[in-house]
Amino acid sequence: MIRTVNVQEITKNVKEMCIEANHFLSPDMEKAMKKAALSEESQVGKKILEQLLENLHIAGNDTIPICQDTGMAVVFLEVGQDVHLEGGNLEDAVNEGIRQGYVEGYLRKSVVSDPLIRENTKDNTPGIIHYKIVQGDKVVIKVAPKGFGSENMSRVFMLKPADGIEGVKKAVLDAVADAGPNACPPMVVGVGIGGTFEKCAVMAKEALTREVGEHSDIPYVKQMEEELLEKINGLGIGPGGLGGRTTAIAVNIDTYPTHIAGLPVAVNICCHVNRHVVRAI
Which is closer to ligand SF4, CB of 81 or CB of 152? 152
- Quick check: helix, strand or coil at residue 4? strand
- Name the residue whose CB lies closest to ligand SF4: 147
Which is closer to ligand SF4, CB of 32 or CB of 271? 271
> Which of residues 67, 83, 175, 232 is near ligand SF4 by CB under 6 A?
67
Distance CA 262, CA 248 (A): 28
Which is closer to ligand SF4, CB of 139 or CB of 184? 184
Binding residue count for ligand SF4, defined by CB under 6 A: 9
Residues 69-88 that bind ligand SF4 (CB under 6 A): 69, 71
Which is closer to ligand SF4, CB of 42 or CB of 55? 55
User: What x/- string results for residues 141 through 180 when contact with ligand SF4 is judged by CB under 6 A?
Assistant: ------x-xx------------------------------
How distant, in Å, are the alpha carbons of 69, 148, 174, 224, 244 from that of 240? Answer: 16, 16, 18, 25, 9
Asked if 273 touches ligand SF4 (CB under 6 A), the answer is yes
> Which phi-psi region, left, alpha or beta, contains residue 195 (left: φ > 0; alpha: ψ -120 to 50)?
left
Find the shortest distance in angstroms from Cβ 241 to ligand SF4: 11
Distance CA 13, CA 98 (A): 10
Which is closer to ligand SF4, CB of 14 or CB of 273? 273
How distant, in Å, are the alpha carbons of 30, 211, 279 from that of 71? Answer: 19, 20, 19
Residues 232-271 that bind ligand SF4 (CB under 6 A): 271
Q: At what angle do helices 43-62 and 27-39 cross, to 10 degrees?
A: 150
Q: Which stretch binds ligand SF4 (CB under 6 A): 34-42, 66-74, 128-136, 258-266?
A: 66-74
Residues 175-194 that bind ligand SF4 (CB under 6 A): 184
Strand partners for 72: 146
Beta strand pairing status for 263-270 and 155-159? antiparallel
Find the shortest distance in angstroms from Cβ 271 to ligand SF4: 3
Q: Give the gyration radius of the chain's Cα atoms.
A: 19
Asked if 124 touches ligand SF4 (CB under 6 A), the answer is no
Which is closer to ligand SF4, CB of 189 or CB of 273? 273
Q: Which residues contact 217 (CB under 8 A, 6 or more apart)?
A: none
List residues binding ligand SF4 (CB under 6 A): 67, 69, 71, 147, 149-150, 184, 271, 273
